[in-house]
Amino acid sequence: MLRFFKGTGPGVIILIILLMGLLWIGAFLNPQMPGPDVYEMNPMPLYRLVQLLIGNHSLAGVIFSFLILSVMLFLLVNFNTIVFFINERTYLPAVMYLLFSALFPELQVMSPVLPAAFFLLLSFIRIMDAYRKPGIAYNFFDAALLISVGSLFYADLIWFGILVLIGIALLRTGNIKEIAISLTGLALPYIITFGLYYVLGKDIGTFLEDFRYNLFGDSAGHTFTRVSVIILIYLGLMILISIGDLMIKLNSKKIKSRKTFSLLLWSFIIPLVLYVVLPSVSVEMIWIGAIPAVYFLTHYLVFIKRRLVPEILFTGVVILVLLLQGIYIF
């Protein structure tokens, strides 16, 4: 199974579409409204607009998330194509992210985290485009701006502004101007939002309170099923093995690849810390944490020399996720 999905031919795209159908058929057959999470009860401005447009149409919410997921799958493959840090052209990052998208069937609803993840992935592309760019790299302004816009969907994305500063430390010589324009990019969407609220006569204090509540309020708890716990442990061990394998091989890679993986490692650590520290963060963070995880897993599955081991690991993930979806549907 892994050998088929590692390919780059048109047949792989057909397989991915079929897998998408299998993993999301439950969401389309029995569409649900989002739960009482912090970001649903006190939505950020851009997500509030989405809520107004979609209303109580649960199927439209599922379609909204499914379309963004489709774009995400394309970008995940495209990011490696542009930077080429895995040194292998493969659709496997898209396949792995698709599997992550089915880990929590109850999250296959309208969500602000998916558009936020989309903007975060775009910011990765802009950050890595600054590699060896002469003069002041305005890429960091763009990256910070994208993260800030994404946080107007899902407020906790604002913490990932730290990644822009990490990107400057990894790729540049610590230019003060680049740090300043990055902070400006992070602040600009909020300055514009304050201005719009003022012009439209809306209460800025309410927006600030919603923002504070989205960052530090108590989110609804999540009940883990036995099957989901087994899958999470299985995937967690695979990710740890993948990171360990990457650390061993990192020094043998090109400089740009090393810096890209370093940025991805930080982007994996941040959501884990947020999940542990902040009461507002729950399992929805899987949409964001899965982005770096799929690249670690892809690197491991592509370059491990033993053929049987990755086949067993990959096939095991697919079977467990399909089993989880089957239990949820029936």
Q: What are phi and psi of 239, to 5 degrees?
A: -65, -45
Model confidence, pTM: 0.96
* Least confident interval from 43-57, 84-98, 157-171, 303-317: 303-317
pLDDT at residue 69 greater than cutoff 70: yes
Q: Which residues of 123-145 are buried (b: 16+ CB within 10 A; e: fewer)?
A: bbbbbbebbeeeeebbbbbbbbb
At 230-271, the pLDDT tens digits run 999 999 999 999 999 999 999 999 999 999 999 999 999 999
How far apart (Å, rounded) are the C-alpha atoms in residues 127 and 142? 8
- Please state the rounded mean pLDDT for residues 99-115: 96
Residues 6+ positions from 281 with CB-CB distance below 8 Å = 156, 219, 271, 274, 275
Query: Taking phi first (over 0 means left), then psi (-120 to 50 degrees means alpha), and beta for anything else, what does residue 282 get?
Result: beta
Q: How would you class 275 by CB atoms within 10 Å of its CB: exposed for 0-12, middle for 13-18, buried for 19 or more? A: middle
3-class DSSP string for 21-71? HHHHHHHHHCCCCCCCCHHHHCCCHHHHHHHHHHCCCHHHHHHHHHHHHHH
- Please state the rounded mean pLDDT for residues 182-200: 96
pLDDT at residue 135 greater than cutoff 90: no
pLDDT at residue 65 greater than cutoff 90: yes
Residue (of 265, 250, 260, 262) closest to 131 by Cα position: 260
Domain residue limits, the chain: 2-329
- Give residue 24's pLDDT: 96
Q: For the chain, what is the mean pLDDT?
A: 94
- Give residue 245's pLDDT: 95
% of residues, the chain, pLDDT over 70: 100
Q: Which two tokens stand for residue 261?
A: 């993986």
In the block, which residue shows the tokens 């499914």?
A: 66
Greatest alpha-carbon span in the chain: 64
Q: What are phi and psi of 158, to 5 degrees?
A: -60, -30
At 7-57, the pLDDT tens digits run 888 889 999 999 999 999 999 999 999 988 999 999 999 999 999 999 999
Which three-class secondary structure state does DSSP give residue 176?
helix
Residue (of 24, 28, 34) closest to 56 by Cα position: 34
How far apart (Å, rounded) are the C-alpha atoms in residues 170 and 249? 19
